Structure 1
């Protein structure tokens, strides 16, 4: 006790000194800005962005390759693993040499001291600063292992120019990873930090060669390498100029910089696949750019892991054509790419069956007049066929029948972030490209649908709550699909499966037409889209394991002839799929499907009047659909040439038969595409009949609005109205607001040139049957 009191000042001083020593070293030695670096899932360098201070300085790497480790220790600090942070013998030798020469010729610094000097920004070399280095070096040795100290040196040593750290130096001077370097290359890099401003590749080559070979001689003398390795190593040439840092996924790098600037990120990208997709995009860009189509984006997702496997944000175009813009997350007009969601929604809600006939006739809804791409009409077409042929008119009419708000609700569940406005803002054009979305969200949605079917089978008939989660480009990403329940996420598995079945029938582009006949063929559900004005071409394909999304167009929105999904985007899609392993087709989700008799001709649930039926698996909700409305019971004469009724024939002379009959306007177009369609026979002339439904307007539709247009000579263009009549020889009489304007026979078309206002067009046939339609002319 007395001893403590006697020496309390000394103890206090000792405690203060020890405390100062303990806290002398900053918690973080290096706070310099670092490059943002992205690697593939295999650890290959995909790209890097220079640090904010203009230096190529990769983030700290705790791994130092064996060859470089041996080289740097033998060159800089042979007793590295033995000293406590400084080497007294080296310091004494250096001091004697410096005193004799009256200048600083030798430093005597250990690697640990050099780490301290680098962290202190290479302060002026004085004896006081040397003392600081020694103190901090011993403290550093207490904090970190030798391997960690070596890694700190390797990551922060200067290698000439604006190259800092072994990782960057290896890429800049040899174009590969540090652990892939030879002994000669490792020795070259080991001698560079000794005088980086004087000696580096391309400058003072002879001095660099002498230093490298001297180090290699020491390695062989120390038996670290053998004589043969030495002889081969000294024959290797020095690098002459720096290589460029690889930029294999530059637009993904942009995206990573936004969230992880200055960090080294291991991504989920497959190195080989990324390179192959880059080559595919470059090849197609070279072709498409001849037509002034300059930009392409491709995204590949793994359905099971929801990881990004390839990410090409743009084509290798020019700055003038916005090569640096990452299009994958940019909003673009969707064209027809949303049609599968409508089809799946209508199946899911029980509004249609897969092959239910939907209407395809000239259509005008208010001022909106959709048209099919080929400008033709089918009259009536199976819903699945309307989808895989991407017919516009049936899609608009399906959306109108389903309800704009109902469909909009499904889109909001898919979380398509660029569908920002309310349903009425888009109107019925929503299904044909009236809205915008981006490649990321669309691929995410298709992946969620694929996963819904996959997981339904894996979980014996259940669903994950978070099936449509965000994909990730991070290697260590683990998807959280949420809890399992019997409640569907958005679309049930049966409706989704049937949607994919329909999409697998889309006609493939040139070169892929006969895919089914090859053993290695890959069944793919895919859809194209083309926006109004030929500004955006889409193609998205999905299998059990992968989703591939392609967008083609011009970043500035310029439309080009030929910028169509099937010819511009689809070939890229299939080129990419050809680089992926083939997937088996989806397992049929039997618990969400039910086999029921379907009317072969109409695709509706078969009624007792349907003469041909087939048993088909449909979604469970399909039981709510109505039975076939197109088969009716008709009464014919004995020769089945005319319809008859009790006004002209007795019951015993009638033949009763089921007949497939479409509404007159649908029938008019349907029979052109289906020559085997049998029109309902006319009534025999001696029968009393109601002639209703013998005439129907093609144009105008009820309450249609037309706008006055003029030609190049400033002459007002006329309007052509059309109708069909079941009797091809019938004459009809046209009236505009009760004023007779003309007569037509066989081909019932008439041109009028009314002024602005509201009108009623009336048509009377020779049998006295009359139909009317209201329309309006606007400026």
Structure 2
């Protein structure tokens, strides 16, 4: 050290020059050698290529590789630089030979560059090949050797070397010329690619095939002579042909590729997609698209989620249609009318709040709220139907009446907690049509919500009856761990019992015809699923969940055109079950007993059993359901000995009166209910000698209040009558009918009245013989 200090003191100028030279040498190499734009590349969860977007400069240049296949590594070293792992960045012997040959020929015929020097030349964008430029390359090459390991330098070379045309790098070259990963190439294929960077503009597949063939075989012969491959491998390799033109790159998940490119352009992203599932699902979508396009239905999207990890397993943003039908539009995250797909959320919300029990009877009768008059898809009414059956059959009228009873604002708050981003207006903007497609949502958010509900139930049963605080999180198509938050005793949105009962109901949804008898096959699995069809047949939905997977399907036209037959159960559901058939079979959800309580339930009404219910069963309900009222539909009636008439103490001795529990619905509900339930019995009439109770009720069946009616004409041009219908709790009583205070007739037992009012507004009045009165305002349209 002392000697060095003395030398510096005595040779200050020389030392300064050396110091400056060293500093210049240290900083002569840019920190980042290559700044070329790269292609956006996505791979599956097993690192298989799903697709790529070409780089901005029009080159197929994949992001730098971090590993080189051994076969190609051997070939490139044998062809370009035998002493790569031994020299310091340049090879003096090669330089001497090249210099000698160039001087003797009078022109530059040989470069003598090492791979390290070629990396430098590539990074400097192929400047003129002069001796001065060679000197620069040599200096920079030695500097590169100090900065990087040999393997890193080789990676840089094979990632940025030209392979002919607009192909750069080994990864892109392997796919463009051989349609597979570089690691899957044979010796002959690896050798073919290894000789291309030497003269990429002169020789590449499809151009100068004979020269390329000879060059490749010379390399294979060298590898054989060096004992790297045996004779059989050599003979088989030289017999292999050459590719004649580039292959198109795979486009297995093009819409996910476009989505990722918006955020991670130019990167190589390993996704969560299962390539086998993705390819098979693509095949299913293509098959159904070919059928549906005959009905001018052109677009399909499918999303598959893993419930436990919330990973995206399959992502199909659109069908393989054409540009005229928005082929490139990714519909998975686009807002579409929801149809009935939100009904399970309403059912779960009402269960969670304790407003209903799973089988509580809800009214299914003609209903009108102002000018809004919902209808069931089949235009029929059941009178009263269990809530779980209303959901599984997707009945519209019970759903709207349930929403009215539950409260629009209350349900809207549940939806906001689900974070459905396209439900962005206030509750009054949607009104009661919210539950029938008045709002918009997207396949991503809906599948996310179904997966979160399934996961809530799974986690509750797996973690000592606790919930995760971040259960309703976003799914992911990047390979990273999901953070479900902390374990807590508090539910996130819905309690586990409400979710379980909701899934139990959804399990009973009638499947498409080809799956109609699914429960009789051992290979079938239980799936909680729901369809939806928007107004005007514009959107068809089907979303289903098992303990392990969620599958969501949307079918329609991206431009919003409606088509006859575009119904969820007919178009989306078959795709749903075809995709589920690709997935491993799942067990059904375990019952969350810690969120349940066993109570006596009235078999006929689904309410908590009262003391007079005649048939009860012990069932597990959600704990919040304890606050629901006892059965309101059973009443104690007093009958004579024959049980044909009601009696009371005014006409019968008390000792002869038989008291019996009777299931009776309000008149309008009963009118429709007994047409679907033949064992329903109306209350017996009072015996004629009895003083009957004056407690009666009656309701209009048709028309509804404030309705506007158009009376069609028959073939002779005569206007058809308007048939007025009323349901009465005591049909044996006479009813007297008036239009605008003008008497038009009376009815008994069957209360239908045919009238022919003039166009305009009218008041219909019905009075029974006990003096009870019912009025309706209607308008007759011309």
- Conserved in 1, the CA contact under 8 Å of 2:338 and 2:533? yes
Q: SS where residue 328 of structure 2 aligns?
A: coil
Question: Structure 2 matches for 1:333-372, cutoff 5 A?
Answer: 333-372=337-376
TM-score, reference length from structure 2: 0.96
- Conserved in 2, the CA contact under 8 Å of 1:705 and 1:778? no
Name which of structure 1's ranges 284-293 and 343-352 shifts more when overlaid on structure 2: 284-293
In structure 2, distance between residues paired with 1:603 and 1:216: 80
User: Match for residue 213 of structure 1?
Assistant: 217
- Conserved in 1, the CA contact under 8 Å of 2:640 and 2:646? yes
- Deviations 1:672-723 (Å, cap 9, x if unpaired)? 0000011100111122224443532123445x35377999999999865431
- Relative to structure 1, is the Cα distance of residues 744 and 633 closer, same or farther in structure 2, using a 3 angstrom cutoff? closer
1:108 and 2:108 aligned: no
Equivalent position to 2:392, from 375, 381, 388: 388
1:571 and 2:574 aligned: yes
User: Match for residue 654 of structure 2?
Assistant: 651
Per-residue deviation at 1:102? 1.4
In structure 2, distance between residues paired with 1:451 and 1:558: 36
1:606 and 2:609 aligned: yes
User: Match for residue 181 of structure 1?
Assistant: 185
1:95 and 2:105 aligned: no
- Relative to structure 1, is the Cα distance of residues 721 and 136 closer, same or farther in structure 2, using a 3 angstrom cutoff? farther
Q: SS where residue 631 of structure 2 aligns?
A: coil
In structure 1, distance between residues paired with 2:419 and 2:757: 48
Q: Number of aligned pairs?
A: 776
User: Match for residue 485 of structure 1?
Assistant: 488
User: Match for residue 255 of structure 1?
Assistant: 259
In structure 1, distance between residues paired with 2:151 and 2:718: 88
User: Match for residue 583 of structure 1?
Assistant: 586
Question: Structure 2 matches for 1:669-684, cutoff 5 A?
Answer: 669-684=672-687
Q: SS where residue 764 of structure 2 aligns?
A: strand
Equivalent position to 1:764, from 760, 764, 767: 767
User: Match for residue 773 of structure 1?
Assistant: 776
In structure 2, distance between residues paired with 1:709 and 1:408: 39
1:428 and 2:432 aligned: yes
- Conserved in 2, the CA contact under 8 Å of 1:45 and 1:246? yes
User: Match for residue 286 of structure 1?
Assistant: 290
Per-residue deviation at 1:750? 4.0
User: Match for residue 137 of structure 2?
Assistant: 133
User: Match for residue 68 of structure 2?
Assistant: 64
Q: SS where residue 300 of structure 1 aligns?
A: strand
In structure 1, distance between residues paired with 2:385 and 2:609: 17
- Conserved in 1, the CA contact under 8 Å of 2:443 and 2:552? yes
Tell me how large the CA RMSD over aligned residues is: 2.0
Question: Structure 2 matches for 1:297-446, cutoff 5 A?
Answer: 297-446=301-450
Q: SS where residue 536 of structure 2 aligns?
A: coil
User: Match for residue 626 of structure 1?
Assistant: 629
Unpaired runs of 5+ in structure 1? none
1:223 and 2:227 aligned: yes
In structure 1, distance between residues paired with 2:105 and 2:188: 33
In structure 1, distance between residues paired with 2:370 and 2:105: 98
- Relative to structure 1, is the Cα distance of residues 215 and 731 closer, same or farther in structure 2, using a 3 angstrom cutoff? same
TM-score, reference length from structure 1: 0.97
- Relative to structure 1, is the Cα distance of residues 727 and 661 closer, same or farther in structure 2, using a 3 angstrom cutoff? closer
In structure 2, distance between residues paired with 1:49 and 1:712: 65
- Relative to structure 1, is the Cα distance of residues 70 and 511 closer, same or farther in structure 2, using a 3 angstrom cutoff? same
- Conserved in 2, the CA contact under 8 Å of 1:717 and 1:753? no
In structure 2, distance between residues paired with 1:766 and 1:387: 40
- Deviations 1:559-592 (Å, cap 9, x if unpaired)? 1111111111111111111110000111111000
- Conserved in 1, the CA contact under 8 Å of 2:714 and 2:720? no
In structure 1, distance between residues paired with 2:426 and 2:271: 36
- Deviations 1:252-271 (Å, cap 9, x if unpaired)? 10111111110000000001
Unpaired runs of 5+ in structure 2? none
1:665 and 2:665 aligned: no
- Relative to structure 1, is the Cα distance of residues 209 and 508 closer, same or farther in structure 2, using a 3 angstrom cutoff? same
Per-residue deviation at 1:104? 1.0
Equivalent position to 1:706, from 689, 705, 708: 708
In structure 2, distance between residues paired with 1:754 and 1:16: 108
- Conserved in 1, the CA contact under 8 Å of 2:721 and 2:754? no
Q: SS where residue 14 of structure 1 aligns?
A: helix
Q: SS where residue 490 of structure 2 aligns?
A: coil
Question: Structure 2 matches for 1:237-256, cutoff 5 A?
Answer: 237-256=241-260
- Conserved in 1, the CA contact under 8 Å of 2:757 and 2:780? no
- Conserved in 2, the CA contact under 8 Å of 1:367 and 1:706? no
Equivalent position to 1:687, from 687, 690, 695: 690
Per-residue deviation at 1:753? 4.8
In structure 1, distance between residues paired with 2:407 and 2:161: 66
